[in-house]
Amino acid sequence: MFESVLVANRGEIAVRVIRTCQRLGIKAVAVHSEADAGALHVRTADESVLLGPAPAAESYLDIDRVLEAAKVTGAQAVHPGYGFLAENAGFARRVQEAGLAWVGPAPEAIEAMGDKVAARNAMIAAGVPVAPGTEPLADADAAARAAAEIGYPVMVKAAAGGGGIGMAAVFDEDGLRAAFETARTRAERFFGSPRVFLERYLPAARHVEVQVLGLADGRVVALGERDCSVQRRHQKVAEESPSPGVTPGLRAAMLAAAVRAAEAVDYRGAGTVECLVPADSAAEEFFFLEMNTRLQVEHPVTELVTGVDLVEEQLRVAAGEPPVLDPDNLPQPRGHAIEMRVYAEDPKRFLPGPGRITRWEEPSGEGIRVDSGYTDGDTVTPFYDPLLAKLCVWAPDRPAALERAREAVAGFAVEGPKCNLPFFTELLSSPEFISGQYDTGLIGRMRS
């Protein structure tokens, strides 16, 4: 195992990775911007290095500075967390060329799954079901012709990138033409590629993803699924495992397809195969959406129901060591877990509201886990994603998990910046969410 790992990230995910490293006796090296000089991940690490000014482009995204930090601290490996450089194949190559271990999949796997159109084609070849869609389209006229053939509604999607950027559901040709041009512009600005394609849009669908782990010996295993249908602006807000809308038969089919998807790109490390499950279909079907070639924000719900430390498994794969889990006798998910993303944002309109934290009180007790990147006295700046913490609960079944989640939300106090905790109070009392029969339109219906 490594003696020293540099964590190329910030916030709660950096703290979470650092703590597993320290539990394993590995020196954890943090990097930070000037704005994060006193941040929790810096205070938690064994050593830290200043990268540069507050803007991410001049600090966390500066590959040369990150690699220099690894060199001067003697780090043997780089863990990218999620976001920033986590799915940057060029960064992964630079890490390896510098003689360091990359805690993630091979650059080739990142590239194969980073382009949504190429990923769709690879999944078709692997026998993984995909929704009807197109190759990248030249202009709005070509998009209109393709949409007429697929049938409205359709989803306009950027071929590169993620995070809901460059995505829009459209229901007629006028809407399509406007959305197509907007998506091209945003895709060029955020991802450096204006390529846009269409895919059939499922107005009523669950967003369900499978956690996969590619082992050092080449085998790929699946560790259950997570339901990520509670979303605003195509971005997840709450997740749970197992999905209350997935039958045993559908679950088995999804897990098998996810393994085939990862095997198709010779995947190593932790990854997630995301799918859409039609909510209004009598048939038990699903469609491949994309693969995230990194650790997911919502990985704790899988850890809570399986007992597997996914970060430790990532490190073991990167070091070429066998896993802690037994691939021939995988842990069967036990009980039910729910994760709620606590953001510094308005709970009604979900707009960021940074500021200094004047009160921070985390809930604690049996079945409660808080992965936080801040604490009392810290300042949430406007420079980065406003995720404060992930509030997670586990209980023997879903009703008990819902009740524990209500108690945990009530016991979490954040004052100073805006905070979306009141939204979770609302969500956990929503009859639709409580029933488990919800889809990605849930928040829109709650707000209508």
Indicate which residues carry an active-site annotation: 294
Site of tokens 């954040």: 414
> Which residues, other chains included, contact 215 with Cβ-Cβ below 8 Å and sequence gap of 6+?
221, 268, 317, 322, 323, 327
Compute the C-alpha angle 371/441/243, nearest 5°.
Answer: 55
**What is the per-residue DSSP string for 192-261?**
S---EEEEE--SSEEEEEEEEEE-TTS-EEEEEEEEEEEEETTEEEEEEES-TT--HHHHHHHHHHHHHH
Which of the 8 DSSP states describes residue 168? E
Compute the C-alpha angle 119/123/128, nearest 5°.
Answer: 145
Pairing of strands 387-395, 154-158: unpaired
**What is the per-residue DSSP string for 94-112?**
HHHHTT-EESSS-HHHHHH
Q: In sequence order, which ranges of 224-378 are alpha helices (DSSP H)?
A: 248-264, 299-306, 310-318
Q: Are 355 and 379 in contact (CB under 8 A)?
A: yes
